[in-house]
Structure 1
Amino acid sequence: MTGDAILAAAAADLWAAHRDRTPIPPLTQRYPSLDVAGAYAVQQVNLRRRLAAGATVVGRKIGLTSAPMQALLGVDEPDYGYVLDGMVITGDTIDAAQFCSPRVEPEVAFLLRSTLRGPDVTVADVRAATEAVAVALEIVDSRIADWTLTLPDTVADNASSGAVILGDWVPYTDDLALPRAAATLRVNDRDVATGTGDAVMGDPAAAVAWLANALADYGAELSAGQFVMSGSFTAAEFVHAGDVASTTVSGLGTVSLTFT
């Protein structure tokens, strides 16, 4: 197969896996030549499909920013994907059956008042461009069977995106001190993980700056009015129908979600 044919075939495989809620073997097993650059091209193919079907991009997500998540998947660098309007949960329940193998993560979302375009975006630039931040519970999901991933596999799969529920937006002021903010992840009545903001590249704002600079390589930017999921404070935890997951981030509050 030619390079373009491999990208098209890999995108079609992931599209079918998402549509049918049926995981597939790792793309890198079937297409050994698929690298990270090719995986981002695959991601864009399926984004165009979703936009053509009427979806709207409302945000971006950064994945694999913390050591626990990188260790979990055996990678050594972050990745990123997109968030569509239909991926933002507006109630307090969600059908677990719409995912393949969901996990939950505690995060902070940044709502941008102005556009960030790399290269050379700094934490100070992120602070100036951010209108507000919010506690977020992200559902990560993998269309790759058993979460048996390499970096190209998760990149192609939109950084293993699933959905997200956001808490109330809080003005982004100096007293929030996000690197020192503490997150607790609960499933049912049990604390399953804790972490602090400095697990996210030293500062969640640094992750947002990293993304703005990474997107510059593709002529893209972080747009005003959209939000950015900055990455998990902890490792992710599996959830199933009947579970109640919640996360609290100090200074930002709590958000909770029931899986039906």
Structure 2
Amino acid sequence: MNQQEIETHGARLYEALLARAPVAPLTQGAPSMTLKDAYGIQQDLLRRRLQRGERLIGHKIGVTSRVVMEMLQVDQPDFGHLTSAMVYYDGAVPIDSLIAPKAEGEIAFILKHDLAGPGVTEAAVLRATACVLPCFEIVDSRVRDWKIAIQDTVADNASSGCFVLGDSAADPRAVDLATVGMTLEKNGAVLATGAGAAALGHPLAAVAWLANTLGELGQTLRAGEVILSGSLAAMVPVARGDRLRMSLGGIGSAEVRFY
């Protein structure tokens, strides 16, 4: 795929983002699209958002469970980028800012040191982490009806919509991140439970994978960035009026409402 084609697809996704109007799967019109092409489109989409005035504040890891990998027919996670326009600090998210949102409970990492791959280990991630927080990632797809191949979701910034961080932070050295339990409630009813190990076997392993993958592309995870380490349970569809709460044992809770 040449640069002009990459920019054409990037423009389509950017316009879909602004208009909240989904497009047909990119792979439908470009069946030979590779993952490298898809990440090129993702970078073009990010470039357009940064030119609009958004700032890069972190990254997200997706496709961390074996079930989703099998569904998308891949054997590794994917990643996307977080910008200043994607974070909601008060936990109130306007439903009209999204297309087809679903909520995921995750562990967010806040870095205090840079992480530059290759060669980043779980121990290095632990040393570089200032704190971990409970987090909701609100995934969304600019691709119509979530009819996505892995190339479609990668191009579409790993299907990321926005995110909400909890108020409590914990020292990652004081919590067993692999066994920490998560409970996710929607309108007072428990809909999902999970554990840290759902994120690529260990959240630290997920962040190490991201640092090493970005390192191969000449990119570095920077101090102060937010890293979403992957969903701990199945996605939960949301609609206007819904209120969700997720709690992580030994870490805290996060809440989000949609209006």
TM-score by length of 2: 0.96
8 A Cα contact 2:139 2:160, kept in partner? yes
Amino acid at match of 1:256: E
Letter of the 2:232 partner, please give it.
F
- Structure-1 separation of matches of 2:69 and 2:88: 26
Give the structure 2 partner of residue 195 of structure 1.
Answer: 194
Q: Taking structure 1 as reference, are residues 245 and 171 closer, same or farther at Cα in structure 2, changes over 3 Å only?
A: closer
Alpha-carbon spacing, 1:74–1:46, altered in 2? closer, same or farther (3 Å): same
Deviation at 1:69, TM superposition (A): 3.6
CA contact (8 A) 1:43 1:155 kept: yes
Is contact 1:127-1:172 (8 Å) kept?
no
Which residue does 2:217 correspond to in 1? 218
- CA distance in 1 between counterparts of 2:133 and 2:211 reads 19
Q: Partner residue of 1:103?
A: 102
Q: Could you tell me how far 1:66 is from its partner in structure 2?
A: 1.7
Q: Is the 8 A contact 1:109 1:133 kept in 2?
A: yes
2:175 corresponds to which letter in structure 1?
A: L
Query: Which residue does the alignment assign to 1:114?
Result: 113
- Aligned-pair distance for 1:225? 1.0
- In 2, distance between residues paired with 1:63 and 1:184? 19
Aligned pairs (5 A) from 1:12-161: 12-71=11-70, 73=72, 75-161=74-160
Tell me the CA shift for residue 169 of structure 1. Answer: 4.8
Q: Is the 8 A contact 2:126 2:173 kept in 1?
A: no
**8 A contact 1:170–1:252 mirrored in 2:** yes
Distance 1:70 1:184, change over 3 A: farther
Structure 1 stretches of 4+ moved >3 Å: 68-76
- Please identify, of 219-228 and 186-195, the stretch whose mean Cα deviation from structure 2 is larger: 186-195
Question: 1:189: how far off?
Answer: 2.0
- Greater CA drift, 30-39 or 209-218: 30-39
- Residue 72 of structure 1 and its aligned partner are, at CA, apart by 5.4
> Cα distance, 1:192 vs. partner?
1.2
Q: Secondary structure at the match of 1:180?
A: coil
Give the TM-score normalised by structure 1.
0.96
Residue 243 of structure 1 pairs with residue 258 of structure 2: no
Q: 1:252 to 1:197 in 2, by over 3 A?
A: same
Residues 75, 104 of structure 1: CA spacing in aligned structure 2 closer, same or farther, 3 A cutoff? Answer: farther
Structure 2 contact 129–172 (Cα < 8 Å) conserved: no
CA-CA distance at 1:75 after TM superposition: 4.0
Contact 1:100 1:143 in 2 (8 A): yes
CA-to-partner distance for each residue in 1:67-119, whole Å, 9 max, x for gaps? 34435555432100110111110213111111010000000011111000000
Following superposition, the deviation at residue 33 of structure 1 comes to 2.0
1:72–1:235 contact (8 Å) kept in structure 2:
no
Which amino acid letter does the alignment assign opposite residue 174 of structure 1? R
Letter in 2 for 1:38: D
Contact residue 75 and residue 150 of structure 1 kept, 8 A = no
Contact 2:185 2:246 in 1 (8 A): yes
Cα shift readout 1:171-224 (whole Å, capped 9, x = no counterpart): 424330010001111111221111111111111011000000000111001011
Distance 1:51 1:139 in 2: 20
Gaps of 5+ in 2: none
Cα offsets for 1:3-29 (capped at 9, x unmatched): 222211111111111111111111001
